[in-house]
Amino acid sequence: TKIAHIHVKVSGFVEKVYVDFVGQLVKKGQPVFTLYSPDMVATQEEYLIAKRGERTLGGAPYQEVSQGAQSLLRSARQRLKLWDISDAQIKKLDETGEVSKTMTIYSPITGFVTDRKVFPNVSVTPDMDLYVVSDLSHVWATADIYQYELPFVKVGQTAQLQLSYYPGKIYSGRISYIYPSMDPTTHTAKVRIELSNPNFALKPQMFADVQIKVNYGNKILVPQDAVLNSGNSQTVFVVLEGGNFEPRKVTLGPAVEGNVVILSGLKAGETIVTSGNFLIDSESRMKSATGEMQ
């Protein structure tokens, strides 16, 4: 949304080039190049002729004559404006009465030149994309979000971005869009984060780490190592009185800094096994198999 393509609206030949390399920073209204166009020169001459005609015939007693002269002047002026000749240039033409051989093309925005196809003495046409100027004062960061995290990511949330080569520097942005499809390779969804970039420290194609802070409310948390995941079910071993253990199937929520949210299956305050649960599970399975054999 902040990229400008510079075209001309009339065929001609490039004379002077002021912006001559990719990566150059240009300001809005800065001259980019000058264009010589025979059609533009002819239209300026028509405008001056129409202006003299309007002065001569504008006060004619016959209404058709005066209106025709005024209409011809308006038409010539409108043609110049449609070719992006500015009001200041037309005013100069009115004051001096001299036709300008060349027209100066200006940058429509402030930004960096990311593509350039303009060189001196080269002919150009309206269909040619002569310059591409990108405004990098605001940029987008695209973050990959795992599918189990998607329910907690919303448009409008604040995200923090850090670069490994700028330690300690944190950039804050806002999630502006969540893409509708998943990446088939990583099974992640992409979210767009808009960031202010006043010093142009953030450059396209950089890699960064993104953190999105989510308020989960009050939840039961257990260490991820305490959950025995068989693929089809998730089990936590609850410590009972007398040194006994009870396997308890649980429903898991999102992972949070080495812990996992328990949505159901546990109550607050229950004691669970946080290490050695694999050995306990193996022993319980062995006892079950022995009992079936007996």
- By the 8 A CB rule, do 175 and 159 touch? yes
**Alpha carbon separation from 182 to 150, 185, 208, 274 (Å, rounded):** 11, 9, 20, 34
In the Cβ-directed half-sphere of 197, how many Cα atoms lie within 13 Å?
Answer: 19
Q: Which residue has the higher pLDDT, 174 or 275?
A: 174
- Average of per-residue pLDDT values in the chain: 86
70-75 mean pLDDT: 79
- Collapsing DSSP to helix, strand or coil, 61 comes out as coil
| pLDDT at residue 109, rounded to an integer | 95
Q: Which residue has the higher pLDDT, 206 or 149?
A: 206
- By the 8 A CB rule, do 164 and 32 touch? no
Full-model pTM: 0.68
**Separation of alpha carbons 242 and 160, rounded Å:** 48
CB atoms within 10 A of CB 288: 10
| pLDDT at residue 293, rounded to an integer | 47
> What are 164's two structure tokens?
């490994």
**Separation of alpha carbons 6 and 132, rounded Å:** 6
| pLDDT at residue 147, rounded to an integer | 85
68 pLDDT tier (thresholds 50, 70, 90):
low
Q: Which residue has the higher pLDDT, 33 or 77?
A: 33
| pLDDT at residue 289, rounded to an integer | 47
| pLDDT at residue 285, rounded to an integer | 59
- By the 8 A CB rule, do 262 and 229 touch? no
- By the 8 A CB rule, do 70 and 51 touch? no
Q: Which residue has the higher pLDDT, 76 or 133?
A: 133
| pLDDT at residue 37, rounded to an integer | 92
